[in-house]
């Protein structure tokens, strides 16, 4: 089984039992990323529920960070929208 980025050890999770804040570096750029979630939802995600079911209130880019560790900025740099690049 592939371990989700948020649980690999690169992130810190501050959890007060109600809310949790996940902080960690983007795997591509190293830039810090912070995502706030509900503690119960994070527990469901750790237990194996789908990220989109656990965190419907997060943006897709925030959910992607929890899965892969790639920030939205790094994603945009890797896959620019056609017509936005300089080349």
What radius of gyration, in Å, describes the C-alpha atoms of the chain?
A: 14
Asked if the structure places residue 87 within a domain, the reply is: no
Q: How far apart are CA 10 and CA 78, in angstroms?
A: 22
| Length of the chain, in residues | 87
Asked if the structure places residue 86 within a domain, the reply is: no
Asked if the structure places residue 17 within a domain, the reply is: yes
Angle ∠(2,47,70) on CA atoms, nearest 5: 45
Structural domains counted in the chain: 1
* Mean residue pLDDT across the chain: 92
Asked if the structure places residue 44 within a domain, the reply is: yes
Asked if the structure places residue 49 within a domain, the reply is: yes
CB atoms within 10 A of CB 7: 14
* Owning domain of residue 74: 5-78
φ/ψ of 18, rounded to 5, equals -120, -50
pTM: 0.87
pLDDT band at 2 (very low <50, low <70, confident <90, very high): confident
Look at residue 85 in the predicted model and tell me its pLDDT.
54
Look at residue 34 in the predicted model and tell me its pLDDT.
97
Asked if the structure places residue 40 within a domain, the reply is: yes
Q: How far apart are CA 66 and CA 23, in angstroms?
A: 10
């Amino acid at each position: 089984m592939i371990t989700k980025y948020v649980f690999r050890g690169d992130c810190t999770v501050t959890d007060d039992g109600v809310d949790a804040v996940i902080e960690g570096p983007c795997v591509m750029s190293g830039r810090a990323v912070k995502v706030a979630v509900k503690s119960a939802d994070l527990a469901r995600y750790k237990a194996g529920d789908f990220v989109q079911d656990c965190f419907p209130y997060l943006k897709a880019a925030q959910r992607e960070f929890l899965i892969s560790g790639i920030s939205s900025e790094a994603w945009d740099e890797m896959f620019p929208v056609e017509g936005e690049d300089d080349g």
